[in-house]
Chain A
């Protein structure tokens, strides 16, 4: 691996990301998969970094899953995006940031479709007016939340309580970064780092002391890919993709995986349970799995947030080995305590996954 070669490519894909003032839209599935990630994103940006990220309950899902499963036509999707942009205008913002990779890909596609087909844009405007009595202007900047954490990575490093360094050995933690396909493979120029050697997550890991692993199946699908899981009968494809990735990364002994797509984080986390059940195998050390974290969760750990406030107990794979390596203090007994100390329940584990 020639690091300088990668740096040269990264320099060709530097995205212009404003520093402040964003209209924020949430992801539908991240809300349930990793409920603390979005809340912590807003908390880190607005309170710790003193930025202005605005959200309103008036916004909706982007409808991406319905679009990708052919349940709604493109015209409907475009009107949904137009309405989100209209809300952004209503609250006086010009920069749009979304939390989901699927949404990000779709918003980028919408802007490109409108550029290439002005008739489609006119039709979108007409339907938006007919149905919602709204108009819209396009965002000046469209970014993903991982772009923002990348943008603020050095400020976060300056506030860090912990580093991505093994507390016992003093060595950098080995990290697998996984980029959601719709972040950079549709429009490489809209990403940080491009399609082949993306830098958005690698930049965070480098800034926080970790070391990125480049393994053969780095670019391979996580197993989410709508076609592979929407129909239950097809889920073997999903599982085999995830299996392929884990087999490929295993020799490098990663300490954890960071991902910027809700589907990737979820599937690589949950399928480790299924693989352990099917193959009696765990990919981490001492019978543990490999923790799969969102970038907000990693940022939160680095900044010293309580792991249970970050929602790490919502993951299938236990994160304690990682917390121990980073030297993070935590109360094991509090792991499954929710609001008012209510027991939120403990996930089942196979005998082959600690």
Chain B
């Protein structure tokens, strides 16, 4: 193997895979290291994607089908990584050492652990689930926490994001539209159920998002309540009692639900934290990596030969992630040729 053409990609999610595909096409030796047991990251665990309801599997299959010739290691961590002469020397947890001229960090995100917002009762009350749990339910059709025919279902937006108390003040960006998408989907599954969304404000910034939001109200009858949920409890019938504030009417409200879905936000991954320490990469207050230039070149780090793609630099949609992966691949190509 010609070490001069080695590129190490850390993270086998959408950003890492798309960058790997592009760099492989340019004849580099691409090695993807993924800590979990599968490629695709969160995409592999999701059912459908906003705003059009495209199957996540369809997108993942496209990525995997194009991943020809790319070497990858699953269930593998980076034990250490440091700069040796002009190359990065990475020792993997499987004992393999890689000497790569460029490293692309695509370490992604972790969903905020909903149990940390203890007042919402995730893991304590039987019928409280997360957005990821709901996607798994849509995919597999099984979750004992979802009752057979729920009559009232609620969604709490911004769980672990825009929340100073929990230490995450950043907006998670994709949860609003995900909640609207999931609310419509659950209404399709349980047409007789009343569905409530408790939101701070709805950030429908992307193409087609606002249309989905209007559709949710007009066609699906989803009720959007502007206000935070303060606490969740369970009554003697095992139903959930939700206390919230309706800031538009200026009144506290209480709703009884059969299912509550917590929209866990995008949080910095523990893998990124570890990498940041090993490579002394600078981070912003929100914990995500700091780009060299946040307007003009988000894919550049403050270290020579280290590049970023995807949500390791903050919450992003999938289209944005793919664009950034391609842009990072191009930047790496230029760097490899220049050196």
Contact = CB atoms under 8 A, between A and B. Distances in A.
User: Real complex partners, A and B?
Assistant: yes
Interface of A: 1-2, 5-6, 8-9, 194-197, 214-219, 251-252
Interface string B212-232: 000000000000000000010
Contacts, number: 42
6 contacts: A1-B125, A1-B234, A8-B123, A197-B118, A216-B241, A252-B236
Contacts of A218: 233
B68 to A, nearest CB: 44
Contacts of B235: 215-216, 251
Contact of A217 (B118, B121, B123, B233): B233
For chain B, the bracket of interface size reads 10 to 19
A197 B124 contact: yes
B215 to A, nearest CB: 34
A155 B145 CA distance: 39
A332 B333 CA distance: 92
Contacts of B118: 9, 194-197
Given A217-B233, A251-B236, A252-B236, 11 more contacts: A2-B126, A5-B121, A6-B124, A8-B123, A9-B115, A194-B118, A196-B119, A197-B124, A214-B234, A215-B233, A219-B231
B202 to A, nearest CB: 28
Contact of A8 (B115, B121, B233, B236): B115
Contacts of A252: 236
A2 B124 contact: yes
A6 B115 CA distance: 10
Nearest to A3: B124
A252 B238 CA distance: 12
Contact of B234 (A9, A195, A216, A251): A216
Contacts of B125: 1-2
A125 to B, nearest CB: 32
Contacts of A2: 123-126
A305 to B, nearest CB: 34
Q: Which 10 A-B pairs have the closest CB atoms?
A: A5-B123, A196-B118, A5-B124, A216-B233, A216-B241, A251-B236, A216-B235, A196-B119, A2-B124, A6-B124
A130 B118 CA distance: 46
B256 to A, nearest CB: 9
Contacts of B236: 215, 251-252
A1 B123 CA distance: 9
Contacts of B233: 214-219
Nearest to B236: A251
Nearest to A251: B236
A196 B234 CA distance: 13
Interface string B90-134: 000000000000000000000000010011011111100000000
A26 B231 CA distance: 34
A214 B236 CA distance: 9
A5 B115 contact: yes
A5 B235 CA distance: 17
Contacts of B115: 5, 8-9
Contacts of A9: 115, 118, 124
A313 to B, nearest CB: 33
A1 B126 contact: yes
Contacts of A1: 124-126, 234
A195 B115 CA distance: 14
B42 to A, nearest CB: 24
Interface centre among B124, B235, B236 (most CB of A within 10 A): B124
Nearest to B234: A1
Nearest to A218: B233
Nearest to B117: A196
B143 to A, nearest CB: 14
A11 to B, nearest CB: 12
Contacts of A214: 233-234
Interface centre among A5, A6, A9, A219 (most CB of B within 10 A): A5
Contacts of B231: 196, 219
A219 B121 CA distance: 13
A219 B231 CA distance: 9
A216 to B, nearest CB: 4
Interface centre among B118, B125, B235, B241 (most CB of A within 10 A): B118
